[in-house]
Amino acid sequence: MSAVISALPGEIISVDPSTGEELGRVPSYTTDEVEAALARSREAFAGWRATSFAARRALVMAAREVILGELDEIAGLISAETGKPVAEALAMEVAPVLDLMRHFADSAEKMLRPRRIGIGLYSLFGRTSKIIYHPLGPVAIIPAWNFPFSIPLGEATMALMAGNSVLIKPSELTPMVGVKIGEIFQRGGAAAGLVQILTGAGDTGAALVKAGPAKVMFTGSVATGKKILATAAEKMTPVVLELGGKDPMIVFEDADLELAAGGAVWGAFCNSGQACSSVERLYVHESVAGVFTRMVVEKTRRLKQGRGTDDDVSVGAMTSEAQLYKVEEHVADFVRSGAVIETGGRRVEMDGTFFEPTVISGASNEMLGMREETFGPTLPIAKFATEAEAIELANDSKFGLTASVWTRDAAKGRRVAEQIEAGTVCVNEVLYTHGIGQTPWGGVKNSGRGRTHGIDGLMELVEPRHIHLNRIALLPNAWWFPYSRLAKETFKAFATHFASGSMVRFSRMVPLLHRRINEVKRSGSEGKNAD
């Protein structure tokens, strides 16, 4: 079974991966249609950029109300298109994005208020500097399929609050959720062209990047991220990349093992392991490895797997057949390499793309499933002996999205967290901070560039511009023409006295500065006399 089959050219069929049933059809936008949409977006931007924060807030809050009025339908649609349980769609997508919408609706104005900046001794000459934040223009949002509602909707909200227009190219695996986001904004009162949904596959996404939006917010694989960067370079379009992960979890011997085991099982198997911040490598101290692995296995065996519409199902279908094959390949490699499947390990014998939650012991960093992103329900466990070794193993990866450290010793937790190469490191928590819209989200190494969420994420969606003002512009500057022996002497004093930042030292060069300014002034008036 294939989750998406293109029946006719120019058409995408959306399929429920847990049943194989068709959910609907959407058009695939052509290059010409993408360019026309970008032109409409530019027109909408011209009006939207001039709106007040109150007007932007009103739109976002109205869109929020539309979602609140349709919680069940929306969660049901997310579940149907991705395979995840309805409960998980509510917990991990709908609730967090509603929180994010409220937060940025309330706080964007304050975050983007013009900001006065200190300019040290230059202020003695009556100068001031401030930063103002301009919107960018049409922002292209190209998300993956794993959180098809919360990721593009959160980014769209932030872009709109910053005064931008938005074009979303949803994943071809979850186009109906994308269309729903457009409908939500439309019903919330968005002007024509302000939020557009351009359904299609990779070629539509490529056409959108090539068309030259003001910014590209991309979420997806490293391979596609590289292609987008290359295309964006043609027009020097700025890009934020939210890419893959291979996120480590470190469990020390003094951790609350029961809690850590629960965190590991949820962190590895929620969304069938298809979260960029899923626990994909677990390192446990050798002294507790046996007991901890048993706890994890026991909790995993208790998980009910099935259709996301059943209330007591915790693990749903994987979103695509291709993803399932990758999991099979990684599990087979673990077995070949001598690791042990403690539970799971196979595709489930039922309709739909289900893979058993799988716990693997005896894993090591050389194995394929410890190096490449699996993006499926596997939890490989390896052992470590010392704190230094745990850090080294965790950092031995080309990815660096999130990580977690589990210990009852808060000082040790912080110490280890600060040495791990990742965009976010949690201590005694796992995976969920994408749900806290106030905190920055993004990776280091191959996990990405730039940030979404938090004030850092909002700053990606604006252009800071510097306004520098001389309030008492009566005299020429000492560094203007003509240069002379006196000029050289003054500039040396700038280097030794002014640049020291010390008022006392600066005061010693004032007479020199005075003479030099007079020199520049005189030369100006000589020029005038010559005329």
Task: Give the catalytic positions in this structure.
Answer: 242, 276
Site map for ligand NAD, 440-479, x if CB under 6 A? ---x----x-------------------------------
Token reading at 4: 């998406």
> At 89, phi and psi to the nearest 5?
-60, -40
Q: Which residues within the stretch 179-208 sit at the binding site for ligand NAD (CB under 6 A)?
A: 201-202, 205-206
Whole-angstrom CA distances from 442 to 167, 422, 456 are 21, 9, 10
CB of 129 to ligand NAD, least distance (A): 34
Out of 276, 363, 391, 393, the residue judged to bind ligand NAD by CB under 6 A: 276
Q: CB-wise, 357 or 450, nearer to ligand NAD?
A: 450
Q: CB-wise, 132 or 201, nearer to ligand NAD?
A: 201
Give the whole-angstrom CA distance, residue 363 versus residue 28.
43
**Interior CA angle at 321 toward 305 and 182, to 5°?**
90
CB of 373 to ligand NAD, least distance (A): 5
Site map for ligand NAD, 315-334, x if CB under 6 A? --------------------
Q: CB-wise, 278 or 407, nearer to ligand NAD?
A: 278
Out of 4, 26, 105, 144, the residue judged to bind ligand NAD by CB under 6 A: 144
Position 432 contacts ligand NAD (CB under 6 A): no
Out of 244, 308, 344, 362, the residue judged to bind ligand NAD by CB under 6 A: 244
Count of positions on this chain that bind ligand NAD (CB under 6 A): 30
Assess contact for 190 and 61: CB atoms under 8 A. no
CB of 95 to ligand NAD, least distance (A): 18
Q: Of 123-131, 223-231, 453-461, 481-489, which part binds ligand NAD (CB under 6 A)?
A: 223-231
Token reading at 322: 């291709």
Residues in the chain, overall count? 531
Q: CB-wise, 79 or 490, nearer to ligand NAD?
A: 79
Q: CB-wise, 415 or 449, nearer to ligand NAD?
A: 449
DSSP symbols for 60-71 = HHHHHHHHHTTH
**Interior CA angle at 150 toward 148 and 156, to 5°?**
100
CB of 385 to ligand NAD, least distance (A): 30
245, HSE (Cβ side, Cα atoms, 13 Å): 34
CB of 170 to ligand NAD, least distance (A): 6
- Pairing type for strands 165-168 and 138-142 reads parallel
Q: CB-wise, 401 or 478, nearer to ligand NAD?
A: 401
Out of 182, 212, 220, 273, the residue judged to bind ligand NAD by CB under 6 A: 220
Q: Of 102-110, 145-153, 187-195, 474-482, which part binds ligand NAD (CB under 6 A)?
A: 145-153
CB of 153 to ligand NAD, least distance (A): 13
Q: CB-wise, 144 or 194, nearer to ligand NAD?
A: 144
CB of 456 to ligand NAD, least distance (A): 14
306, HSE (Cβ side, Cα atoms, 13 Å): 8
Q: Of 26-34, 165-173, 302-310, 413-421, which part binds ligand NAD (CB under 6 A)?
A: 165-173
Out of 157, 171, 271, 397, the residue judged to bind ligand NAD by CB under 6 A: 171
Q: Of 40-48, 81-89, 112-120, 141-149, which part binds ligand NAD (CB under 6 A)?
A: 141-149
Q: Which residues within the stretch 346-405 sit at the binding site for ligand NAD (CB under 6 A)?
A: 373, 375, 401
Q: Of 74-82, 220-228, 378-386, 414-422, which part binds ligand NAD (CB under 6 A)?
A: 220-228
Q: Of 1-9, 138-146, 377-385, 468-476, which part binds ligand NAD (CB under 6 A)?
A: 138-146
Give the whole-angstrom CA distance, residue 492 versus residue 379.
63
Q: Say whether 4 sits in a helix, a strand or coil.
A: coil
Q: Which residues within the stretch 224-243 sit at the binding site for ligand NAD (CB under 6 A)?
A: 224, 227-228, 242-243
Nearest to 523 by CA among 481, 492, 461: 481
SS3 for 144-164, per residue?
Answer: CCCCCCHHHHHHHHHHHHCCC
Q: Of 65-73, 137-145, 286-294, 500-508, which part binds ligand NAD (CB under 6 A)?
A: 137-145
> At 427, phi and psi to the nearest 5?
-110, 120
What is the dihedral angle through the alpha carbons of 119, 122, 128, 130, rounded to the nearest 10 degrees? -30
Assess contact for 53 and 286: CB atoms under 8 A. no
Residues 6+ apart with CB under 8 A from 194: 41, 44, 48, 160, 165, 166, 185
Out of 79, 146, 157, 378, the residue judged to bind ligand NAD by CB under 6 A: 146
DSSP symbols for 344-372 = --SB-SSSS--B--EEEES--TTSHHHHS
- Pairing type for strands 239-242 and 340-343 reads unpaired
**Helix or strand (DSSP H, E) at 402:** strand 402-406
CB of 114 to ligand NAD, least distance (A): 31
Assess contact for 66 and 184: CB atoms under 8 A. yes
Out of 142, 190, 198, 379, the residue judged to bind ligand NAD by CB under 6 A: 142
Residue with tokens 């959720």: 177
Q: Say whether 310 sits in a helix, a strand or coil.
A: coil
Give the whole-angstrom CA distance, residue 115 versus residue 130.
5
Q: CB-wise, 261 or 430, nearer to ligand NAD?
A: 430
**Interior CA angle at 137 toward 136 and 138, to 5°?**
130
Residues in contact with ligand NAD by CB under 6 A are 142-147, 169, 171-172, 201-202, 205-206, 209, 219-221, 224, 227-228, 242-245, 276, 373, 375, 401, 443, 448
